[in-house]
Chain A
Amino acid sequence: MQKKYLQWLIFIIVLLVLLLVTILVSLSAGEVKITASKLAEILAAKDSIEYTVLIKIRFPRIVLAIAVGGALSLSGAILQGIYRNPLVEPYTLGISGGAALGVAIVMVAGIQLQNYFILPFFGFAGALVTLFLVYSLSMRRAGISMNSMLLIGVMVSFVASSAMMFLMSLTTADNIQNIVFWVMGSLDEPNQVLIKIAFWSAVAGLITSIFFARPLNALRLGEVKARHLGIDTGTTIKLLFVLSSVLTGIAVSVAGVIGFVGLVIPHLIRLIIGNDYRVLLPGSFLGGAIFLVLSDTLARTVIAPNELPIGVITGFAGGLVFIVVLSRSGSKYKMK
Chain B
Amino acid sequence: MGKFLVIKEFSCGYPGHFVLNEINFEIEKGHFVGIIGPNGSGKTTLFRGISGELPTLSGTITLNDQLTQKMSLREKARNIAVVTQQIEAGNMTVEEYVLMGRMPYQRQFQFFETGEDIAISEKYMKLTGIDNLRDKNMNSLSGGEQQLAGIARALTQEPELLLLDEPTSHLDITHQVQILNLIQRLSEELSLTVLMIIHDLNLAGEYCDTLLMMQKGSLRKTGTPHEVLNYLDIEAVYDTVVITRTNPVSGKPVVFLVSEKTMKKE
- Answer whether A214 and B106 are a contact pair too, CB < 8 Å, given A220-B92, A229-B101, A275-B92: yes
Contact pattern, B 77-110, Cβ under 8 Å of A = 1, otherwise 0: 1100110100011111001100011011010011
A336/B104 contact (C-beta < 8 A), A1-B113, A230-B77, A231-B73 known? no
Contact (Cβ within 8 A) B104 A221: no
Compute how far the CA of A228 lies from the CA of B52 in the bound complex, rounded to whole angstroms: 9
Task: Report, as a range, how many residues of chain A touch the other chain.
Answer: 20 to 34
Q: Contacts A214-B106, A227-B73 given: A221-B100 contact, CB under 8 Å?
A: yes
Q: List the B residue with the shortest CB-CB distance to A227.
A: B73
Chain A 163-220 interface residues, beta-carbon cutoff 8 Å to B: 210-211, 213-214, 217-218, 220
A211 to B104, CA, bound (A): 15
B76, B77, B91, B109: which contacts A211 (Cβ < 8 A)? B109
Query: In the bound complex, how far is the Cα of B92 from the Cα of A275, in angstroms?
Result: 7
With A1-B113, A211-B109, A225-B84 as given contacts, are A335 and B90 in contact (CB-CB < 8 Å)? yes
A sample of 22 inter-chain contacts (CB < 8 A) reads A1-B95, A1-B118, A213-B111, A214-B111, A218-B100, A221-B100, A225-B82, A228-B51, A228-B53, A228-B77, A228-B82, A229-B77, A229-B103, A229-B104, A230-B77, A230-B104, A231-B73, A232-B73, A275-B91, A278-B111, A335-B90, A336-B92
| Smallest CB gap from B118: residue in A | A1
Known contacts A225-B84, A275-B92, A335-B91, A218 near B103 by CB under 8 Å: yes
Which partner residue on chain B sits nearest A218 by CB separation? B103
Q: Chain A: which residue is nearest B117 at the CB level?
A: A1
* Residues of chain B lying within 8 A (CB to CB) of residue A232: 73
A256 to B155, CA, bound (A): 50
Kindly name the residue among A218, A274, A336 whose own CB sees the greatest number of chain B CB atoms within 10 A: A336
Q: Given that A221-B88, A221-B89, A227-B53 are known contacts, is A276 also in contact with B96, CB under 8 Å in the complex?
A: yes
List residues of chain B with CB within 8 A of the CB of A227: 52-53, 73
For A210, list chain B residues within 8 Å (CB). Answer: 111
Cβ contacts A231-271/B at 8 Å (1 or 0 each): 11000000000000000000000000000000000000000
Bound-state CA distance A19–B89 (Å) is: 34
Verify B112–A230 contact, CB threshold 8 A: no
* Residue B74 is within 8 A (CB to CB) of chain A in the complex: yes
Using a Cβ cutoff of 8 Å, how many contacts connect chains A and B?
68
CA distance A224 to B73 in the complex (A): 12
Measured CB to CB, the closest approach of chain A to B71, in angstroms, equals 10
Is there an interface contact between A228 and B81, defined as CB atoms closer than 8 Å? yes
A window 14-49: CB within 8 A of B: none
Shortest C-beta distance, A313 to chain B (Å), equals 29
Q: Are A5 and B91 touching (Cβ within 8 A)? A: no
Residue in A214, A230, A276 whose beta carbon sits within 8 Å of that of B76 in the complex = A230
Smallest CB-CB separation from B109: which chain A residue? A211
Choose among B51, B92, B96, B110 the residue that contacts A214 (Cβ–Cβ < 8 A).
B110
For A218, the chain B residues whose CB sits under 8 A away are 100, 103
Asked if A319 lies at the interface with its beta carbon under 8 angstroms from chain B, I say no
Known pairs A217-B100, A218-B100, A336-B88; A230 contacts B73 (CB<8 A): yes
Residue of A nearest to B53 (CB): A224
* Chain B residues in 8 Å Cβ range of A56: none
Rounded to whole angstroms, the CA-CA distance of A275 and B91 in the bound complex is: 7
- Distance of B165 from chain A, by nearest CB (Å): 11
| Nearest CB of A to B120, in Å | 12
Most buried by A among B73, B74, B75, B106: B73
- 5 further A-B contacts with Cβ under 8 Å, apart from A230-B73, A230-B76, A231-B103, are A1-B113, A221-B89, A228-B77, A230-B103, A275-B92
B90 touches A336 (CB 8 A): yes
Docked CA distance A227–B78 (Å): 12
Measured between beta carbons, the chain A residues less than 8 angstroms from B118 are: 1
> Are A229 and B100 in contact (CB-based, < 8 A)?
yes
**Contact status B106-A336, CB under 8 Å:** no
Q: Are A222 and B88 in contact, with the CB atoms below 8 A?
A: yes
